[in-house]
Chains A and B, each alone.
Chain A
């Protein structure tokens, strides 16, 4: 029972990170048709933002905020320098552009900072644990779940209640029509990138707080899982991205906890096989985007 609850918390915590990354990918994809392969580098950049501000002596909380800001700035800079000129290009051209952006950033991280992990020393309390009803629960996974819930709640509010959020939903449906209502395309696209950057920054905060280090590949593997989550949930579907993130996170934690040691090397293969099995039954994903939403 204890074991199961702990694994549940781990699953929600990891799933939440994947969900936020997947959501960032899905928001951008739904509006500009870009599958942003460099999304992981936004997360990594956020991680380095935290690292560098700690090096420069900022207190941990301030460092986390700077990391968030760094991720937002990186996402906006990417859009402005690389993707805006490619607006309207086909999915493949955009994907290849994002590969290039990703490679450039990785080289900059490796040569500008370090190819190896750099440590971040957060207060010891953050990696501690607490007792509830005789069960030991980690502080970091709990905080991670709370942050995820608050973030998803805020995002829902923005998309449902604020005019800019409604404009983003409208843009996902028919971008040209939005412009025929006088809305400046660049603002909506920038807002989408800013939100995706913020979500990647939050993922970076949770990730580094739990692991205590940053390396040039930090964002790569979680975003790879987030890609799988978006496809599993239904490419371009925001609800699907969140659901997919939690499913992939849960599968990963469960296979890690309960798979016999002999099968451990096949963990990812087993998770991916499960995803493929789902896609065989539901080719458009668990919660498909509305059909014909993008022209």
Chain B
């Protein structure tokens, strides 16, 4: 029962505010070591705000976020990432005017020595062959699915222990969605813990071992995916917003 060793992320009574708007209202959940927690909910439920607060990009208005057993109060996003977190934000946000390889070089500068970064770049191009083929191409010219792979590869450059992914399947063709989900499962098998924000609840529940459903900034329910799949709670959360 030592909370320190079996979770990598603990969120306790987290509040996120944008001026007068309370986007996230006192939510608590965690990500188990080596596990995948799916964070589900309708548009505007507060999923991205939660993720960005964990990443230190938006301030924690109240409550507590702990990563690897340590509270992250007043920590900047770059320090959080260097502590072993990889981030694939909503909308992918690849650097469109940089080449594929340059995106990976930039991603390696702060989280690995030059030699280690070079090795990891080659590993990424092997893992995602399309990135190897297009290494000199501008990242902005990649397809949506390829951009998502680049966003994942970029987040992996620091060999993170925890990966935060915000809607990685959004806007992708069905086949590409499958590819992305099999990558997610593969990463988990390699021992990376994942917080997965998804609109595609069905697929997310398939890969996750814990699911959290948000509605209007609050947690509508959480538990084992099997208990939530087809649950009325999940449906009502999606209809809520």
Contacts and interface: CB of A to CB of B under 8 A. Distances in A.
Interface of A: 163-164, 166-167, 169-170, 173-174, 176-185, 290, 293
A-B pairs with the 7 shortest C-beta distances?
Answer: A182-B81, A182-B110, A180-B87, A179-B77, A177-B93, A170-B95, A183-B110
Interface secondary structure of A, over-half rule: helix
A167 B57 contact: no
Contacts of B89: 177, 180
B111 interface: yes
7 contacts: A166-B106, A167-B109, A180-B77, A180-B87, A181-B78, A182-B110, A185-B76
Nearest to A168: B106
A166 B107 CA distance: 10
B204 interface: no
Contact of B78 (A166, A170, A179, A293): A179
Given A167-B106, A169-B97, A181-B110, 6 more contacts: A163-B105, A164-B109, A166-B105, A179-B57, A180-B77, A293-B97
B109 A174 contact: no
Nearest to B108: A163
B16 to A, nearest CB: 16
Nearest to A289: B97
A181 B57 CA distance: 12
A180 B57 contact: yes
Interface of B: 55, 57, 76-78, 81-82, 87, 89, 93, 95-98, 102-103, 105-111, 114, 154-155, 157-158
A46 B238 CA distance: 62
A185 B82 CA distance: 13
Nearest to B102: A166
Contacts of B154: 181
Contacts of B95: 169-170, 173-174, 177
Contacts of A185: 76, 78
A174 B93 contact: yes
A181 B112 CA distance: 11
B76 A179 contact: yes
A15 B81 CA distance: 43
Nearest to B154: A181
A176 B158 CA distance: 17
B98 A180 contact: no
A179 B111 CA distance: 11
Contacts of B81: 179-182
A182 B106 contact: no
A167 B103 CA distance: 9
Given A170-B95, A182-B82, A176 B77 contact: yes
B98 A169 contact: yes
A191 to B, nearest CB: 11
A7 B103 CA distance: 44
Contacts of A176: 57, 77
B106 A170 contact: yes
Contact of B97 (A173, A179, A182, A183): A173
A124 to B, nearest CB: 48
Contacts of B106: 163, 166-167, 170, 178, 181, 183
A170 B104 CA distance: 11
Given A176-B77, A180-B57, A183-B106, A290 B157 contact: no
A183 B93 contact: no
A163 B109 CA distance: 7
Contacts of A182: 78, 81-82, 110-111, 158
A192 to B, nearest CB: 15
Nearest to A292: B96
B93 A184 contact: no
B102 to A, nearest CB: 5
Nearest to A173: B95
Contacts of B76: 179, 185
A166, A182, A185 interface centre (most CB from chain B within 10 Å): A182
Contact of A183 (B87, B103, B109): B109
Nearest to A174: B93
Contacts of A177: 89, 93, 95
A115 B25 CA distance: 60
B77, B89, B157 interface centre (most CB from chain A within 10 Å): B77
